[in-house]
Amino acid sequence: MALTVPTSFSARGQWTNLWQSLYAFEKAPQVWKKIYKQYGHLFDIFDFIDLMGETIDIKGDTLNIFEQYAYERPITIGTGGIATGAAGADITFKLDAGDYDAQGNGPINIGESFLIPGLYTTDTSQDYLYRLMSEDTGVAANKIYTATPHNKAGTNFTAARITTAVPAGTKLMVAGDSWALGTDQPKGKTNGSFERQYYTMLSKSTFDMGGGLLYQENYLDNVPLKGGAGVGRFNAASVQMEFEHNRKINYNIWMGQEADNTTFVMNDAYGNSVPIKAQRGFLQWLQKLALKKTYADKFEVNDFDDIKSLMISVGVSAQEMFFGMGDLLYANLENSGYNFIKENSSATDIMKRLDEVGVDFRIFTKLNFRYILKEIGNLSNPAGMGLSAYGERYRSMGFIVPMGENPVTIEGGGPNVDKKVKISSLMIGYPNHNGESRARVVGYLNGMTGQNLPIVQSTDTVKGMMLSEYMFVPTSVQKMVLVNKL
């Protein structure tokens, strides 16, 4: 069923109410509960990251992070595969070109053993170890390796023998090593890393308001400003426009696309041509790097078994998983009748923070993974991604994020030193250095309004302006899952 676009009279214009930034106030749970309830704010990615407190200060408009690869790595049999041979005979093979780094180093050392499945051997009831004995002087994919079986005599077990050729592209596990007394050490190994670069984006909002503001009825009173700067007051216009600013940030975080268009520029205040700041959003990160899970018609309970398998493949053990989704996928799960989908009754840190601000969610435990199920407003907004022009693409979409910390190295963590740290899977960075914070810059052009602000114009109006510079920083996206309906 298509969503009905809500009636809206949103347009450029002037508000006649006082505006104060919602983010100028401490996030007292009762304040946020009232705001969410009163204004029906749609819960989105930005809100989740912000409520979790996953924000960092950055010192520039770019950030380079090195993510560590998994240490354990299989070998991939290269061109020609492994040919059949006699019982107990040595085997020769090549490795796939993709197994080598830029310096021509492969993943296996002389002395290490790899496991060949019984599918390719005489005795299909067991797998056989072959120890790497030597390698020639060939370059990368042309290098020829020689390995010998642990089991050759056939005294207690059938002698190892390749009876069915092992095809190229087969991945085999490296399973330990073996050495003789008095021998030399093997070559060392390194754990590779991948550099990812993130960029800041800019969002702006402007508010035009008439005079006679402060004495009007307010919706929230007696909320102390940060730093004890007196009493702040909210009203319908201020909160609505604050959420409008958040809406822009939410869409940028979710739908942002890399700007490789050289004409994507505008002139600055000094007449210089300056590139428009844009970066890859969460969806593009998921499409490029995440694991993929598709479902037909409905997301069934057995589909969670597939998620378990995907997590094992990237080394994620049992832990909390945030499962955000569009309304159709969420309704599918709620209507499924699973008696193990429950109300928010746990006491984990994530659930406490969501519950404090009145955000409804469900929990679901399957195969030692606890899923926090939450509908994401962006994916189903009837005036946005839920429009009929996009079909049910976003409404039936979901994403799963392991809620843990990832070890990374941040470039320039000190004087000529990179800094090794652990950061969360989803974070937002704000430029904040040398006394300048760009998280939420607020300014006024005040007139003859009676406000306690410098008068810079003669009209009975005040213009409120907001600017946010921010950076979306997802890490270990390769451990997340993008869920799509077929």
Are 216 and 272 within one domain?
Answer: yes
pLDDT for 221: 45
Is 297 in the same domain as 181?
no
Whole-number pLDDT of residue 224: 41
Per the document, the length of the chain is: 486
Q: Is 1 within the bounds of a domain?
A: no
Average pLDDT over residues 404-419: 65
Distance between alpha carbon 45 and the CA centroid of its chain, in Å? 10
66 pairs with which residues across the strands? 195, 409
- Most confidently modeled range among 15-24, 49-58, 421-430: 421-430
Q: Return the exposure string of 242-257: e unless at least 16 CB atoms fall within 10 Å of the residue's CB, then b.
A: bbebbbbbbbbbbebe
pLDDT given for residue 205 in this prediction:
80
Query: Which residues neighbour 147 within 8 Å (Cβ) at sequence distance 6 or greater?
Result: 90, 91, 92, 93, 114, 130, 131, 132, 133
How sure is the predictor about 93, in pLDDT bands with cuts at 50, 70 and 90? Answer: very high
- Mean pLDDT confidence for 16-35: 49
Instruction: For residues 282 and 324, state if they share a domain.
Output: yes
Q: Which residue has the higher pLDDT, 244 or 274?
A: 274
Q: What is the mean predicted confidence (pLDDT) over 220-238?
A: 42
Amino acid at 298: K
Contact assessment for residue 75 and residue 172, using Cβ atoms and an 8 Å cutoff: yes
Please answer whether residues 115 and 173 qualify as being in contact, where contact means their C-beta atoms are separated by less than 8 angstroms. Answer: yes
Specify if 443 maps to a domain: yes
Residues 130, 149: contact at Cβ < 8 Å? yes
DSSP 390-435: GTTTTTT-EEEEE-SEEEEEEEEEETTEEEEEEEESEEEEEEEETT
- For the residues 404-433, what does the mean pLDDT come to? 73
Q: Which domain holds residue 232?
A: 14-66+197-485
Asked if residue 6 is part of any domain, the answer here is: no
pLDDT of residue 80: 95
Mean pLDDT of 224-230: 36
Q: Are residues 478 and 400 in the same domain?
A: yes
What distance in Å separates the CA atoms of residue 486 and residue 474, rounded to the nearest whole number?
26
Q: Are 94 and 141 in contact (CB under 8 A)?
A: yes
Does 37 lie in the same domain as 86? no
User: Are residues 108 and 90 part of one domain?
Assistant: yes
Query: pLDDT exceeding 90 applies to what percent of the chain?
Result: 29
- What gap in Å lies between CA 453 and CA 456, rounded to an integer? 9
Cβ(413)–Cβ(421) below 8 Å: yes
Evaluate whether residue 3 is within a structural domain: no
Instruction: Quote the number of domains for the chain.
Output: 2
Q: Which residues of 6-41 are buried (b: 16+ CB within 10 A; e: fewer)?
A: eeeeeeeeebebbbbbbbebeeeeebbebbbeeeeb
pLDDT attached to residue 133: 95
The reply to whether 5 falls in a domain is no
Res 230 pLDDT > 80: no
Domain endpoint, select from 138, 159, 188: 188
pLDDT confidence of residue 225 = 38
Do 431 and 455 fall within a single domain? yes
* 18 lies in some domain: yes
Mapped onto helix, strand or coil, the DSSP state of residue 228 is helix
Q: Are 92 and 114 found together in one domain? A: yes
Closest CA to 62 of 466, 408, 412: 412
Q: In angstroms, rounded to a whole number, what is the distance separating the alpha carbons of residues 18 and 239?
A: 10
Residue 51 lies in a domain: yes
Work out the pLDDT band at 36, boundaries 50, 70, 90. Answer: low
Q: Are residues 146 and 107 in the same domain?
A: yes
Position 405 confidence tier, pLDDT thresholds 50, 70, 90: confident
Angle CA(156)–CA(160)–CA(165) in degrees, nearest 5? 155
Average pLDDT over residues 324-350: 71
- The mean per-residue pLDDT over the stretch 10-38 comes to 48
Q: Do residue 36 and residue 88 come from a single domain? A: no
Spatial distance between the Cα atoms of 212 and 450, rounded to a whole number of angstroms: 8
Of 134, 166, 188, the residue at which a domain comes to its end is 188
Residues 349 and 369 in one domain: yes
Task: Pick the last residue of a domain from 188, 209, 230.
Answer: 188
Establish if 42 belongs to a structural domain.
Answer: yes
Whether pLDDT at 348 is above 50: yes
Same domain, 157 and 178: yes
